[in-house]
Amino acid sequence: MKKFSLEVLFHIIGIGSASGIIYRDGDLFLISDNGNHLYKYNIDTKQTQKISLFENETTQNIPKAQKPDFEAIAHYGDDYYIFGSGSTENRNRMVQYNTRTKSTKTFDLTNLYLLMQSFENIKAVDFNIEGVVFTGDTWYFFQRGNGKSGKNGVFTVKAKSLEDDFSILFNAYKLPKVKGIQSGFTDAVLVEDKLWFLACSENSISTYEDGEVLGSFIGSIDIRTMKMQDTQQISDNHKFEGITYYKETAGHFEFLLCEDNDTEILESDIYKLTIGKS
């Protein structure tokens, strides 16, 4: 078992139910699963910029039935990609935001998500994308198995367009259980040749309804073989839903984590997880 430490690094006012995080050049980019915004938090100034992903959108804490349920964020170059979970019909959008032009584009991923479900025989009620990694030519979509089927896995997607020109592979994984409840993927980040992932065990068999949090894990997958290498529990009461690479030393990696507190309180703690490389 690797040695690790977990500590609160930042407390951010104005962002609630954080579901995805990216660290880049002194800034944190965050999304919330109950809003329509991308947030940019500068670590030095502690100032937060709220970027609307849809025109004239100001609402926060959108009711569950109407929210786009943005659960995953990936980036490549100047582009950030924010994904709906696909867990209901109105959660199938991806928004691309360019930090240079300050422009957004919206894409309908219904065809992609339906093909993913068909490809691996996942029922619509059990489908739930919670993490995405983009390498520039390949996408990795992390399916959270918190529905009745309990199917966790990674869809590897090669695509010219995620709307209508793509190919798919799938790798299934068995993740740890807590009190008999299987954990499910909640996010991932690529560091060198490993996909470092988060998983959470929650006492619910629904992709829609929340349940008691039983524990969160970190683990890694070799991107060359897609073999899972190890997992380790890092908390027994936090629902970590976002991970980003932060720093490294000779013997450790440092990650930043965000937590979905499943409340309407517009505050978020950002945690630093330090874990041994071997």
pLDDT in tens, 10-47: 999 989 889 999 999 999 999 987 778 999 999 999 99
For residues 250-274, give the mean pLDDT: 89
Q: Are strands 240-248 and 212-222 parallel, antiparallel or unpaired?
A: unpaired
pLDDT of residue 58: 56
- Degrees (nearest 5) of the Cα angle 9, 14, 18? 65
Could you give the domains of the chain?
A: 4-276 (2.120.10.100)
Contacts with 96 (C-beta within 8 Å, 6 or more apart), sequence order:
79, 80, 81, 82, 104, 105, 106, 107
pLDDT top residue among 203 and 151: 151
pLDDT of residue 277: 82
Q: What percent of the chain has pLDDT over 70?
A: 93
Task: Give 209's pLDDT tier (boundaries 50, 70, 90).
Answer: low
Q: How many CB atoms lie within 10 A of CB 200?
A: 26
* Least confident range of 61-65, 76-80, 157-161, 196-200: 61-65
Coil vs helix vs strand at 86: coil
pTM, whole model, 2 decimals? 0.94
- Measured CA to CA, the distance from residue 191 to residue 180 in angstroms comes to 31
Burial (CB count within 10 angstroms: exposed 0-12, middle 13-18, buried 19+), residue 224: exposed
For residues 82-101, give the mean pLDDT: 94
Nearest to 275 by CA among 242, 236, 239, 231: 231
Which residues of 35-148 form beta strands (DSSP E)? 37-42, 48-52, 70-76, 79-84, 93-98, 103-108, 129-134, 138-143
- Measured CA to CA, the distance from residue 120 to residue 163 in angstroms comes to 19
pLDDT of residue 28: 98
Is the pLDDT at 173 greater than 60? The verdict is yes
Task: Give 103's pLDDT tier (boundaries 50, 70, 90).
Answer: very high
- Measured CA to CA, the distance from residue 4 to residue 24 in angstroms comes to 23
Q: How many CB atoms lie within 10 A of CB 136?
A: 7
255, 277 contact by CB (below 8 A): no
pLDDT in tens, 117-168: 999 999 999 999 999 999 999 999 999 988 777 899 999 999 989 998 899 9
113, 72 contact by CB (below 8 A): no
The two structure tokens encoding residue 109: 């991923």
pLDDT of residue 60: 62
81, 96 contact by CB (below 8 A): yes
Task: Give 3's pLDDT tier (boundaries 50, 70, 90).
Answer: confident
Nearest to 164 by CA among 95, 124, 115, 129: 115
pLDDT top residue among 212 and 267: 267
pLDDT of residue 204: 66
pLDDT of residue 213: 85
